[in-house]
Amino acid sequence: MEKIFGTLLTIALGVGTLLGSPDNGQYIIQKIFEDFSENTISSDALKRFNSEEELRKTIDNYYQDYEVEINFATDAVADGTTIRSEAQAEIKDSYSETNVQVTGVDEADIVKTDGNFIYYLVYDKLVIAEVRNPEDISIKKIIEVNEKASKDYYCSPSELYIDEDYIVVISNKAKYYYDINEAEDFGLYRGGASEQQLSLINIYDISTYNLVRSFEISGNYISSRKIDDDLYLISNMYINKNLPILPVYCDTAETKEYIDIEADSIYYFDDIKECSYMIISSISLDNMERKANIDTFLGAGSEIYVSKDSLFVAKINYNWNAEDVTTNVHKFDINNGNVKYVATGIVQGRLLNQFSMDEHDGYFRITTTTNAFLDESENNLYVLDEKMNAVGKIEGLAKGERIYSTRFMGDKCYVVTYKTVDPLFVIDLSNPTEPKVLGELKIPGYSSYLHPLGENYLIGFGEDSVEKSYINWRGESEVTAYATGLKLAIFDITDFYNPKELYSIKIGGRGSYSEFLNNHKVLLFDEEKGIFAFPARVYSEGEMYDDGVPAYGKLEFSGALIYNLSVEDGISLRGKISHNDERPDYNDIQRIIYIGDVLYTLSPDKIVASDLKTIERLGEVNIEIENEKIIFDGVAYR
């Protein structure tokens, strides 16, 4: 093999000389190596530290310069390499699942169901409710995720997964320098400065509820995905140079002790923009004896997009000496729990969220906004190939506005920008090298979330708004907008050149709010059942101030809103569910799911079953958690 490459090298350099430049020879060498093996990593392959001393030097340099370029000799990245009980009785009814971005790629949430039981994270507890009979719901088990073995740590459960065999609970775990609340009767406590941040995975047997495995890894929990039996977790560890700089892990499949991740297994990017580790951990749920795969990179990631075969991690780069912002996107191949770095692409601007990214037919697509919070903002769409090289782009879209939502649907992309009105753009991506805007629709308000409705329609959820002119501090006339309530709409995109708003309804007045504005997982949508439901706090319409600005009204309702939604009949309210009519400001419903023809609404104090069609209440159960208190900065929260 070495002789073959040596011969190729000689030929390439010779050809390069004939072409007038040795650089041409180097280019030919690069192409030969790329063509020789489809597994070859791009020319900017990641590198590894040779020692902890070298790692320490890099971190010290970063804190001195806040931006450092590394040129160490390195290696390239290699391939990352019960008996069932009554609880799992046959499921006869269909049931809802978490609203996810990519079909077949599960996302964690605070609520999951298998059709017989509901698994719900409440404070620091995992509540398991049996719901075979909606008129007789019972709390089967309450598992305390927060372990009180040590007062030095506080564990905060974030999200969970379930499958046929296991319940997986993901938490943030923190160790503090000191404890501001040492009294035993405070129960759960938080306080002091963080010394160590860990992401914790607890895996419970779904039949016995016994803890069968724990995995801890340094860093705050960023996000995760589950593909078949493989769980991928991304954590981010900020490096404090005054503390130990090596990340640690503890996997009970291997040991009960914390183990350092050695410096010579940590990869880094040449251009370090942030002194933190991005750690990708994967666990195979079909083999509890197999230890976790861990890949550590010096350089943080903030948003992720995952397809069936690839993981993309985006990092926004802020240049404090200039107004421009760029985003790095690192691509990794994923397969059966193995993670392999592929390449890094860079685009102008900052992305909004995970829906700003997509992969289709081998191409990665991303929407961004430059100068997002300035009057000269503009919006972009970039298309990158498998090696993360930009091959197509649209720049300068909707100047003066910023992106509020994006939805990719095959070879089309739908983008909502907003400042005072809501333009919905239809972008054609059938030719990845020449994306182009086909049509545009301008309406009041904006959509913060877009959801496909068949192939020819799109659901938009956001806020309605009203424009208002005013004189700024320079004596110039400007136009701004005020939100005047929530808004739900159906767009007809049959004619890509002429999108239309087919139906729309306004919900409440100014001040009305739903977590759905920022979190797609709260949505319950089933096209076949024609149901669209989400939690919300609804305020009445307020009066207008003398200057024409709409005033806030009074809080009228807090709970779940359930709508009928179809292309044929439009949008209409099916019903509302509240868990506490006497105090609409208390006990907000967090999630809505269905099992068969029964709707379940969940709040920290109660689970309520209602008829899916009539919204008539069928049964309920209180979640009775003893008087635990979460203490933060000396204040007790419940």
Summarised one tens digit per residue, pLDDT across range 292-316 is: 999 999 987 779 999 999 999 999 8
Of 293, 297, 329, the C-alpha closest to 313 is: 329
Starting from the edge strand earliest in sequence, which strands make up the sheet with 310-318, in order? 303-306, 310-318, 325-335, 338-348
What is the per-residue pLDDT across 107-140, written as a single tens digit (0 to 9) for each?
Answer: 999 999 999 999 999 988 999 999 999 999 999 9
Dist CA 398 CA 389 (whole Å): 25
Better pLDDT: 530 or 184: 530
pLDDT confidence of residue 60:
86
Alpha-carbon distance of 334 to 274, in angstroms, equals 25
First to last CA, the chain: 67
Give the 3-state secondary structure of residue 574.
Answer: strand
Phi and psi, residue 118, nearest 5°: -110, 135
Burial 142-163 (b: 16+ CB within 10 A, else e): bbebbeeeeeebbbbbbbbbbb
Report, as an integer, the average pLDDT of 59-75: 55
Question: pLDDT digit string (tens) for 382-402?
Answer: 999 999 999 999 999 999 899
Comparing 578 with 43, the larger pLDDT belongs to: 578
Mean of the pLDDT values across residues 231-244? 92
pLDDT tier at 471, thresholds 50, 70, 90: low
Judged by phi (left if over 0) then psi (alpha if -120 to 50, else beta), residue 10 lies in alpha
Q: What is the pLDDT of residue 480?
A: 72
Specify the DSSP class assigned to residue 257. S
Q: Over the stretch 401-459, which tens digit does the pLDDT of each residue have?
A: 999 999 999 999 999 998 766 689 999 999 999 999 999 998 888 899 999 999 999 99
3-state secondary structure of 68: strand
Helices (H), 256-303: none
**Is the model's pLDDT at 331 over the cut of 90?**
yes
The confidence score (pLDDT) of residue 243 equals: 87
**DSSP class of 543:** P
**Which residues in 310-327 are b (16+ Cβ under 10 Å) and which e?**
bbbbbbbeeeeeeeebbb
Token pair, residue 624, equals 């009775």
- Spatial CB neighbours of 98, under 8 Å, sequence gap ≥ 6: 106, 107, 108, 109, 111, 112, 521
Q: Which H or E run includes 30?
A: helix 22-36
pLDDT at residue 632 greater than cutoff 50: no
For residue 197, with 0-12 CB atoms within 10 Å meaning exposed, 13-18 middle and 19 or more buried, which class applies?
middle
Q: How far apart are CA 48 and CA 26, in angstroms?
A: 24
For residue 401, give the amino acid letter: E
CB atoms within 10 A of CB 295: 22
Domain boundaries, the chain: 1-40, 46-300
pTM: 0.84
Cβ count within 10 A of residue 339? 20
Most confident of 44-53, 86-95, 298-307, 462-471: 298-307
Q: What is the pLDDT of residues 509-530, one digit of tens each?
A: 999 999 999 999 999 999 999 9
pLDDT band at 465 (very low <50, low <70, confident <90, very high): confident
Residues 6+ apart with CB under 8 A from 204: 126, 143, 166, 167, 168, 169, 210, 211, 212
> Rounded CA gap, 175 and 5, in Å?
52
Residues with Cβ within 8 Å of 244's Cβ and at least 6 positions away in sequence, in order, are none
pLDDT of residue 323: 64
pLDDT of residue 176: 61
Q: How confident is the model at residue 604 (pLDDT cuts 50, 70, 90)?
A: very high
Average pLDDT value for residue range 351-371: 96
CA–CA dist 94, 97 (Å, integer)? 10
d(CA 410, CA 430): 9
Token look-up 């729309």 returns 504
> pLDDT at position 507, please?
97
Closest to 374 in 3D by CA, of 348, 399, 405: 399
CA-closest candidate to residue 265, choices 249, 253, 251: 249
Which DSSP category does 336 fall into?
T
Cα separation values, 192 from 176, 180, 195, 242, 631, Å = 6, 6, 9, 17, 11
Query: Is the C-alpha dihedral spanning 121, 124, 126, 129 positive or negative?
Result: negative
- Distance between CA 10 and CA 8 in Å, rounded? 5
Residue among 534, 539, 481, 478 at smallest CA distance from 508: 539
Instruction: Tell me what the mean pLDDT of segment 211-238 comes to.
Output: 96
For 125-182, write each residue's pLDDT tens digit.
999 999 999 999 999 999 998 765 455 677 889 999 999 999 999 999 987 654 444 4
Cβ 522 vs Cβ 590: under 8 Å: yes
- List of residues 6+ apart from 606 with CB closer than 8 A: 579, 587, 620, 621, 622, 623
pLDDT recorded at residue 71 = 38
CB 397 within 8 A of CB 379: yes
Using pLDDT thresholds of 50, 70 and 90, give the confidence band for residue 608: very high
Which pLDDT does position 275 carry in this prediction?
Answer: 86
